[in-house]
């Protein structure tokens, strides 16, 4: 059931505001061109988990980072972008191979949206019989959204072997995915993690993007560069205790 849908691209609204909410999907505006999408995944070990993604919009084009967890939410998201932002989704990027990143990938494919991911993501998704992204890159991929670029980069293992981050230089906003933890979070799902490499990988991310102002983690609340420091400290304990 639709609860809130009060902003279209031509209306004035405060930044960092919830602009859409249904039973399956929530959308929060973070800047003029960046939105956070939130969907929900039922898990065996952690119950119902909220999962973040990012939408970048400019000049009637949009790129989505991580699919919603379920197909219904993905359908809502694609339609919301078309109807409320008057934009076409030109690409979807999965930041690693878990269901909270590509669970609804087939919905995007059925809508004619091309998909991208790090080459390991393609390999691991295929092994797990998950939907497989169509196009792979190794270290980096730059996507254009109108006249604005988004840098997608692979810095090493952490939450998974294939996790990447996406950075929008014009907005100084990053989607960290599950590589980056919200403040106060625990270590979460470690089934495919490399705990020793994790803090080193995040240190590389921090060094590469010193000007960033806002980070969307894979789960939980948006924050600033302190999310990088928190994640580094959380997993640095692993290195000293082994």
Q: Determine whether 219 is an active site residue.
A: yes
Q: Determine whether 98 is an active site residue.
A: yes
Q: Which of 231, 104, 114 lies closest to 165, judged by CA?
A: 231
Total tally of structural domains belonging to the chain: 1
Structure tokens of 221?
């609340």
Within 10 Å of residue 195's Cβ, how many Cβ atoms?
19
Set 96, 101, 162, 163: catalytic member: 96
Q: 127 — phi, psi (to 5°)?
A: -60, -35
If you ran DSSP here, which 8-state letter would residue 33 be given?
A: S
Q: Determine whether 33 is an active site residue.
A: no
What's the CATH number where 85 sits?
Answer: 3.60.15.10
Set 159, 162, 163, 194: catalytic member: 159
Q: Determine whether 189 is an active site residue.
A: yes
- Name the 3-class secondary structure at 44: coil
Cross-strand partners of 236 = none
- pLDDT tens string for the chain (242 positions)? 333 333 333 333 345 688 999 999 999 999 999 999 999 987 666 668 899 999 999 999 999 999 999 999 999 999 999 999 999 999 999 999 999 999 999 999 999 999 999 999 999 999 999 999 999 999 999 999 999 999 999 999 999 999 999 999 999 999 999 999 999 999 999 999 999 999 999 999 999 999 999 999 999 999 999 999 999 999 996 554 44
Set 98, 101, 162, 194: catalytic member: 98
Its domain, for residue 18, covers 4-241
Set 66, 100, 162, 194: catalytic member: 100
């Amino acid at each position: 059931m639709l609860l809130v849908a009060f902003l279209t691209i031509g209306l004035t609204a405060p930044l960092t505001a919830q602009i859409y909410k249904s039973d399956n999907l929530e959308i929060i505006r973070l800047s003029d061109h960046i939105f956070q999408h939130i969907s929900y995944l039922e898990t065996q070990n952690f119950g119902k988990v909220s999962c973040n993604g990012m939408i970048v919009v400019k000049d009637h084009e949009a790129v989505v980072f991580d699919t919603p967890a379920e197909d219904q939410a993905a359908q809502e998201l694609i339609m919301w972008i078309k109807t409320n932002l008057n934009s076409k989704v030109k690409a979807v990027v999965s930041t690693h191979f878990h269901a909270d990143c590509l669970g609804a990938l087939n919905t995007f494919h059925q809508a004619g949206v091309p998909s991208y991911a790090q080459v390991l993501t393609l390999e691991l998704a295929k092994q797990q019989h998950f939907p497989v992204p169509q196009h792979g890159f190794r270290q980096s991929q730059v996507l254009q959204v109108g006249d604005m670029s988004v840098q997608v980069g692979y810095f090493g293992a952490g939450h998974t072997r294939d996790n990447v981050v996406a950075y929008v230089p014009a907005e100084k906003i990053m989607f960290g995915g599950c590589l980056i933890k919200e403040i106060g979070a625990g270590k979460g799902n470690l089934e495919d993690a490399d705990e020793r490499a994790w803090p080193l990988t995040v240190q590389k991310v921090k060094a590469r993007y010193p000007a960033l102002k806002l980070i969307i983690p894979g789960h939980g609340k948006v924050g600033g560069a302190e999310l990088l420091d928190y994640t580094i400290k959380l997993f640095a304990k692993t290195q000293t205790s082994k």
